[in-house]
Structure 1
Amino acid sequence: MEIRFVEQDDRALAQLSQELDSFFFDLLGAVYLEYQPHNTLSGLAGGVVAYEAGEAVGCACWKPFDAVTAELKRVYVRPEQRRSGTARRMVAQIEQHAAASGCHRMVIETAKELDGAAALYLRQGYRPLPEGFGPYIGDSGSLCFEKEISDGTMR
């Protein structure tokens, strides 16, 4: 497996992001349309695409949330590649990139229906953020998490 950093206009990233949108629409129906404005690729600070045998199989990105916080976005792995460690490796790359860019904290929101995603974040050291953050504060359809990603030094 190879993980490549990409720009926000990367074709593979756009394709995988569209697949993720379709997945969420199939899962949540019209409710997903309320979340769609938060899931664009504009404003990304970093993104990765995972490749297996030359085929794009997953993506993950981050956007600045505030001066010291990054928001993990668009984490997706194609169904046939799930449970292979792909998501774990992509998230770790994104965390390192955000930390190197001066962020100290990472936040992520996912749908409450996605037990596997929640378990992934918990295994990677994220803590539940019951009150939510940003547009997800008080959103009963969302699960939010946070993680300290810096080494404790100020940048």
Structure 2
Amino acid sequence: MRHSDYSIRTATPTDLPDARAVMLDTVYRDFGTGYVPRWHGDIIDLAGAYLTPERHTLLVAVDEGDGEVVATGALDSRGPAHPPNPAHVAERFPSGVTAQLRRVYVRPEHRRRGLARRLVEELLAFAAADGGYRAVYLHTDPAVTGAEPFWRSLAKVVHDEREDVGGGQGIVHFDVPLPVPARVG
């Protein structure tokens, strides 16, 4: 079977229904939670969460063979909130100066082809070009197949809730190195 070629680009309003489908399929299939408004409200209002705010973005990976959106990746300027996240994590990554990576999801049949890594590289370039971000943060649910090893290959663990008394939410929090923007001139 031939691997498809993919393009990665900033989402347009016409991409939003397909991007939303990738995200909702992921929260139902991989997370087992289904849609939870307090956690997933951005999925319903993708334009308001990622397209309208200047310092936010939503990227899509498109299968060039059939034009299907097969992966997503987003970034916003909201740090992790306490609660539910540990206080020291929220303090380390304040809103406004923290770029949070969100919704880096790849449809199962398109995984292991470098799409998530390419999406993250583009999101990090966006954060660096912004000039106002001092840190990049993300958290992941280690129950999602492949998620924890992927993020450990790109980022440093700052807190693993599984080590907390009672296991916390079971979430792993990461600090992603912010690339230094290339100087022009």
TM-score by length of 1: 0.78
**Contact 1:128 1:143 (8 Å CA) reproduced:** yes
Report the secondary structure of 2:77's partner residue.
strand
1:28 aligns with 2:32: yes
CA contact (8 A) 2:23 2:103 kept: yes
Aligned 1:1-155 pairs, distance under 5 A: 1-7=6-12, 10-24=16-30, 27-29=31-33, 33=36, 36-39=37-40, 40=42, 41=46, 42-44=48-50, 45-52=56-63, 53=65, 54-65=67-78, 66-102=95-131, 103-114=133-144, 116-124=146-154, 126-130=155-159, 139-151=168-180
Give the conservation status (yes or no) of the 8 Å contact 1:104–1:148.
no
User: Partner of 1:130: helix, strand, or coil?
Assistant: strand
Give the deviation of 1:148 after TM superposition. 2.6
Q: For residues 49 and 152 of structure 1, do their structure 2 counterparts lie closer, same or farther at Cα, with a shift above 3 Å needed?
A: closer
Aligned-pair distance for 1:64?
0.5
In the alignment, is the contact (CA less than 8 A) between 1:130 and 1:143 conserved in 2? yes
Cα pair distance change 1:115/1:130, threshold 3 Å = farther
Higher percent of residues as strand: 1
SS in 2 for 1:14: helix
Asked if structure 2 preserves the Cα contact closer than 8 Å seen for 1:110 and 1:118, the reply is yes
In 2: Cα distance, 1:69 partner to 1:29 partner: 27
Structure 2's unaligned 5+ residue stretches are 1-5, 51-55, 79-94, 162-166
Moved over 6 A (4+): none
Equivalent residue of 1:128, what SS? strand
Count of paired positions: 142
> Root-mean-square deviation (CA), in Å?
2.5
Query: By how many angstroms is 1:21 displaced?
Result: 2.2
Answer yes or no: is the 8 Å Cα contact 1:12–1:49 preserved in 2.
Answer: no
- Identity within the alignment, %: 27
What's the TM-score once normalised by structure 2's chain length? 0.67
- Cα deviation for residue 59 of structure 1 reads 0.4
In structure 1, the gaps of 5 or more residues are 133-137
> What amino acid maps onto 1:5 in structure 2?
T
